[in-house]
């Protein structure tokens, strides 16, 4: 392989067979359970990177079942998203993500900077309730319950709520272990179709773990819960802040 062929063909590791295809990625029948809860404001301030600003002392804890993801397969994900603002625009900062699919972990980390970690989340219906659990190597980290399709929501209103941008902290090391890339990335989902959406009573428990510290944003009060089924596309993003070159920021 010549150097020119390498530049033309390569886009991800390993060279012989990258772990994931190029984006965009289309998700069909992607099912969310999102529990919004009030937490400790000081705890949020410790984990949200500037120039993002904490919007209010709440966290959205998510369980997501993705049975049909182009190029990535079928998997389940769980994690925390923090409402933030950047230059006055509302969005969500993804603080933690745990999932059970290697291509999705590698693609998410390398392309956009999703903070994905290997774990064992589940989302299932048990009689009249949705139950989400997150285990890290056999240790229970999170348990959520929500009434199943309890109260129908306006689908267009839910779709508009998905228009807000997401923010990610993308970091990559140099060969000596020093920080080579540190960027704030903004992304949006597109081609969103909301097939169903419901609210209802919910509960959430978070438990300490050294490698899955979701409980460091403690649950003080559950405020609301949403269950929805969607189709959507995740494409590329844009760098909105370069921490390594401050003079080249927005």
Q: Is 22 a catalytic residue?
A: no
Measure the N-to-C terminal CA separation of the chain; round to a whole number of Å: 39
> Whose CA is closest to 213, among 119, 75, 92?
119
CA atoms within 13 A on the CB side of 20: 20
The first and second tokens of residue 105, run together, are: 């972990």
Cβ atoms 223, 58 nearer than 8 A:
yes
SS3 content of the chain, % helix, strand, coil (to 5): 15, 55, 30
Q: Are 228 and 197 in contact (CB under 8 A)?
A: yes
Q: Pick the catalytic residue: 60, 116, 170, 188?
A: 116
Of 34, 27, 69, 79, give the one whose Cα is nearest residue 189.
27
Q: Give me the active site residues, please.
A: 116
């Amino acid at each position: 392989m010549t150097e020119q062929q390498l530049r033309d063909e390569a886009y991800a590791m390993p060279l012989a067979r990258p772990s994931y295809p190029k984006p965009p990625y289309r998700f069909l029948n992607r099912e969310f359970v999102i529990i919004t809860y009030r937490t400790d404001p000081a705890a949020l301030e410790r984990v949200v990177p500037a120039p993002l600003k904490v919007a209010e002392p709440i966290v959205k804890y998510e369980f997501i079942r993705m049975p049909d993801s182009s190029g990535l397969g079928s998997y389940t994900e769980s994690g925390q998203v923090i409402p933030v603002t950047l230059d006055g625009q509302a969005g969500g900062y993804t603080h933690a993500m745990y999932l059970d699919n290697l291509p999705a972990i590698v693609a998410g980390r390398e392309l956009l900077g999703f903070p994905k970690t290997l774990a064992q989340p589940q989302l299932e219906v048990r009689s009249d309730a949705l139950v989400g659990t997150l285990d890290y190597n056999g240790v229970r980290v999170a348990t959520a319950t929500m009434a199943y399709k309890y109260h129908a929501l306006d689908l267009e209103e839910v779709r508009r709520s998905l228009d807000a941008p997401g923010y990610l902290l993308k970091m990559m090391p140099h060969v000596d272990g020093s920080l080579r890339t540190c960027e704030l990335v903004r992304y949006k989902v597109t081609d969103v179709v909301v097939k169903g959406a419901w609210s209802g009573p919910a509960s959430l428990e978070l438990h300490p773990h050294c490698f899955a510290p979701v409980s460091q944003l403690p649950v003080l009060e559950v405020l609301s819960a949403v269950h929805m089924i969607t189709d959507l596309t995740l494409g590329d993003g844009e760098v909105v802040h370069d921490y390594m070159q401050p003079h080249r920021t927005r």
